[in-house]
Amino acid sequence: MEIEETDEIAGKHHTKIPIGISSCLLGEKVRFDGGHKNNSYIAKTLGQYFEFQAFCPELAIGLGIPRKPIRLSRKGSDVIRCIPVDNSEPDFTEALAKSADDKKQWHSSLCGYILKKDSPSCGMERVKIWDDVMPIREGVGIYAGKMMQNFPYLPVEEEGRLGDAVLRENFIQRVFVMRRWFQLVEDGMKLSDLLDFHARHKLIIMSHNQNYNRELGQLLAAARKDNVDEVAEQYIVKLMRTLKIPATRGNHVNVLQHIQGYLKKPLDKDDKLELTETVRKYRLGQLPLIVPITLLNHFFRKHPDEYIANSWYMNPYPGEMSLQNHI
């Protein structure tokens, strides 16, 4: 059954979040050897919240199944080409880049993309580049690289990195932020909407990078009714660049202590001590983030604060995803 999500910004119900994905990760037999790389976590867990839209650029440019494998090869000092493993013709570089350009309209509707690691077409990073000596892991898949160049704000991750709790939380958080941004744009963004969006995400931004948070604030300080669209375009690129930086335990502690300040007056001595001790244990790695967050939510239910209630930091995505249980 398809899960629906209520978004407070739009006040409507929405279906699953559209996410692009390399076809082989959903079990489609599109690899060069006729196999697949089905990922059960992606399909079964993330599939409860994401509407996956599969694509294989190698099939899209006419390569068959099975087919001769391809790889990235360095020609000269700087030129990277995508060619068959035996260094024969043809050269697939331009065709794979064009396949990304051809999909621009589709890519523009996505809230994220999950790519196949190590792929010469779809790899996000550390793809082998072959030369006359030995392969070096410093390449980017041709299709993936062109897509990320066209859409620098799009949340992108590889399936292998989703096994890391911090990177997994980082990607999913960015996807939900992107979804809320699209809803804001669809509803017709006004200056007050842009400022409110930033205010509701400010604590999340602070958990990623304090300096970039100040830069975003300075950008918005120059926003006016007659330039809101221009500022919004700059803002979303800078915001997603900031959120791509994984949040650290230290930054989370700073944010938790900042939030704790909103409870300085209403809490009694014992409750303050409990909260302080919980944050301390999180800082030491003895508790996951969900514990101080849950305790704060408990106290704010008893002592409501409008700013904290509206902040996405306290509830950034469905609790059923259990992401904060592991960070």
Q: How does pLDDT run across 7-56, given as a tens digit for each residue?
A: 443 334 458 999 999 999 999 999 999 999 999 999 999 999 999 999 99
Task: Say what percent of the chain tops pLDDT 70.
Answer: 95
Residues 171/247, Cβ–Cβ less than 8 Å: no
**Residue 11: both structure tokens together:** 């006040």
- At residue 5, the pLDDT reads 43
Q: What dihedral do alpha carbons 192, 195, 196, 197 form, nearest 10°?
A: 120
C-alpha distance from residue 247 to each of 64, 166, 192, 238, 251 (Å): 42, 8, 27, 16, 7
Q: How does pLDDT run across 192-226, given as a tens digit for each residue?
A: 999 999 999 999 999 999 999 999 999 999 999 99
- At residue 11, the pLDDT reads 36
- Residues of the chain under the 50 pLDDT cut: 1-13
Q: Is 90 helix (H, G, I), strand (E, B) or coil?
A: coil
Instruction: Please tell me the distance from the alpha carbon of residue 186 to that of residue 318, in angstroms, as a whole number.
Output: 22
Residues 128/71, Cβ–Cβ less than 8 Å: yes
